[in-house]
Chain A
Amino acid sequence: MLVTGVARQLGGRFVRRIQRDPDVDRVIAVDAVPPEHHLGGADFVQADIRHPAIARVLAEHNVDTVVHLDVTGTPLGSGGRTTLKETNVIGTMQLLGACQKSPLIKRLVVKSSTNVYGSAPRDPAVFTETMPPKSLPSGGFAKDTVEVEGYVRGFARRRPDVAVCVLRFANILGPSADSPLASYFSLPVLPTVLGYDPRLQFVHEDDVIEVLRIASHEPARGTLNSGTFNIAGDGVLLLSQCARRLGRPTVPLLMPAVAWVGSMVRTLGVTDFSPEQLRLLTHGRVVSTNQMRETLGYRARCTTAETFADFARGRGPGLLPPEAVAGAVDRLAALAVPAPGGGRTPTQSAN
């Protein structure tokens, strides 16, 4: 088995986890830079997937399963958006080219994102896998994923003998996630778009690892693990809800102002506040996970709300912790409900 993009937290975790599975003989971990975390007993090969050398790695190690995780929205260390786009798109092309030449390949798993649906006011409320986006993403990571998926579809057509699984993950959150949305939620004050309250969906890191594991093995009885699947936790959170649960105040700004703040933040290098992300934070996006449950046979362990709670625990309290707000309301209740309600007041503040 060959895994790309292992220098990232997610890739590292997946490599460590997959080696414990009995039917996995060897794991070849590939990335352009050596990872800072350990990779269990996996063989690390330093190779840039943007170069044809990756074909030699595939041939040398008799790889039969490729898990392509190097499709990401945040640059690792230095390197700007151009490098990232090259790794995402050119890297995928090279990797698929190498896979096409290798006769041993049986299975290909590609990490994609629900970004491919874009986000627009004319979109249906809930996306299923078969829905084409009304407006294609104009740039950034979302456009990369659309292109990557296009190449993967082409590969699947040319090599019908290979089981291809495209996993469209919702926003990945968790204690160690390094997605753009995670860095947005770590801002002390959250800029939002005035008059919009987007619906967001999250998926927990643990669920991501589990789904990748299911997709990279033979399918269990009665399930099928080739095709395209949306992966997300059940339920939906509004951005306003997220901010309150996280205890971070929001600053609603007019659309042009948000774009300006976004570009300023991007210039400072704090977080990637791309136009695509801005669109997500304006119109939101929800996907249907019926296929994941019925065809892939996986039930997400964490709902969207649980995922977010876990993430919030890892981030520590914000400026307005929910407990403090609740306490303030309780004190107000104690003031507002005088003597006759004496019996009720203590129970309220006890909450």
Chain B
Amino acid sequence: MADAKVIPFDDDRTRGGAAQRPSRRRNAGSRRTGENAVVRDARESGEVQALPGLAGSTEDVPVTREKPEPSQEAAGALDGAVDGGALERRIASGLAFLRKRLTGDYEVDDFGYDAELTDQVLMSLLRPLYEKYFRVEVKGIGNIPAEGGALIVANHSGTLPMDGLMMQVAVHDNHPAGRHLRLLAADLVFMLPVVNELARKLGHTLACAEDASRLLQQGELVGVMPEGFKGLGKPFGERYKLQRFGRGGFVSTALRAGTPIIPCSIVGAEEIYPMIGNSRTIARLLGFPYFPITPTFPWLGPLGAIPLPTKWTIQFGEPIPTDGYPPEAAEDPMLMFNLTDQVREQIQHTLYKLLVQRRSVFF
């Protein structure tokens, strides 16, 4: 599906990217680019046909993910205990956890981040989706510092902000220090019932300069997707084309805090819900920024809300330092625009590179 994008970037590859990353996969990918289109079309149609079966076999994954949302964490802990079966220690720890939760004996930070619940329940609910469903491959995790604040800037796509959650799991599970990513989310997240509660407990907070700089000053790892709804709700035809990066507020926040900016490119999230249409009337009625129409949604009802099992790659790029600038630099609009463009370009280039390397959307 990414072929339309791939062809123009052969020149990008010859510019010197190949010398930097001589990977076997890239060669394989480029060889495929040269193949005739008929073969690819056949392969793709095969994939599309194989999909319903795939979706059926993995159907239980989203179901288990959704189940604990309305109920309390107690259900999750009990589930864990039942699954554990013979592992009596696991039962004991599960019950100890349950006991703590039921008596309210746990801590949350000023932002409502519930570290214990996130680690023990919410993360383990996202993990099957991360490992088995999207099979996320993570590159460049070493670019994230082991300690101190850093701002991860990523592209945003996929109709539902699945990419943010996957990035959070990716950072936590792959980073040697097991760092927690604190995501900045749109205000819509904090208006919706249940969603706002879970978002706060997962450590997300409102995307505003005050919260971001407070988190960065606390030495937290902050994740932001400056495209916002423009990126999330863009039509399928515009996939992997970065939208405008807001007003570059994230750069001035990082500059003020003196923390590095880490560009992050996520490939695979664009195809989970191919948005072929947007019903503005329903969107306006519900107060959402867009209302997606995909080949399956809303035609198949809740079944259509199951994401396509695409294969994901998350690459963290080289950090862009911001500590070399004078303190008044955060007020300089020219510098802001330059840095914003630099980050944007880097993400876009990495996206193209990853797309060239990708063998197929689903494998």
List the interface of chain A (C-beta within 8 A of B). Answer: 121-126, 128, 131, 193-197, 199, 235-238, 240-245, 255, 283-284, 286, 305, 322, 325-326, 329-330, 332-333, 336-337, 340-341, 344, 348
Residues from chain B with Cβ under 8 Å of A122 in the complex: 187, 190, 206
Q: Are A337 and B111 in contact (CB under 8 A)?
A: no
Residues from chain A with Cβ under 8 Å of B196 in the complex: 121, 195-196
Nearest Cβ distance between residue B106 and chain A, in whole angstroms? 7
Q: Are B108 and A325 in contact (CB under 8 A)?
A: no
Q: Are B211 and A330 in contact (CB under 8 A)?
A: no
CA distance A244 to B103 in the complex (A): 5
Residues from chain A with Cβ under 8 Å of B44 in the complex: none
Q: Are B98 and A329 in contact (CB under 8 A)?
A: yes
- Is B35 in contact with chain A by the CB < 8 A criterion? no
Q: Are A337 and B211 in contact (CB under 8 A)?
A: no
A326: contacting residue among B99, B192, B193, CB under 8 A: B99
Residues from chain B with Cβ under 8 Å of A341 in the complex: 88, 92
Residues from chain A with Cβ under 8 Å of B200 in the complex: 197, 199
Q: Quick one: closest A residue to B205, CB to CB? A: A125
B104: contacting residue among A199, A242, A333, CB under 8 A: A242
CA distance A329 to B195 in the complex (A): 29
List the interface of chain B (C-beta within 8 A of A). Answer: 81, 88, 91-92, 95-96, 98-99, 101-112, 114, 187, 190-197, 200-201, 205-206, 208, 210-211, 214
Residues from chain B with Cβ under 8 Å of A284 in the complex: 112
CA distance A329 to B103 in the complex (A): 10
Q: Are A196 and B193 in contact (CB under 8 A)?
A: yes
Q: Quick one: closest B residue to A245, CB to CB? A: B104
Q: Are A329 and B102 in contact (CB under 8 A)?
A: yes
Residues from chain A with Cβ under 8 Å of B107 in the complex: 235, 305
Contacts A121-B196, A131-B210 known; list 10 others, CB within 8 Å: A124-B206, A124-B210, A196-B193, A244-B101, A245-B104, A286-B110, A325-B102, A332-B95, A341-B88, A344-B92
Nearest Cβ distance between residue A61 and chain B, in whole angstroms? 44
Nearest Cβ distance between residue A318 and chain B, in whole angstroms? 12
Q: Are B88 and A340 in contact (CB under 8 A)?
A: yes
Q: Are B92 and A326 in contact (CB under 8 A)?
A: no
Q: Quick one: closest A residue to B114, CB to CB? A: A238
- Of the A-B pairs whose beta carbons lie under 8 Å apart in the complex, a sample of 28, sorted by A's number, is A121-B187, A121-B206, A125-B205, A125-B211, A126-B110, A126-B111, A126-B210, A126-B214, A195-B194, A195-B195, A197-B197, A197-B201, A199-B108, A199-B110, A235-B110, A236-B110, A236-B112, A237-B108, A244-B103, A244-B104, A245-B103, A283-B190, A305-B107, A322-B103, A332-B95, A333-B91, A333-B96, A336-B91
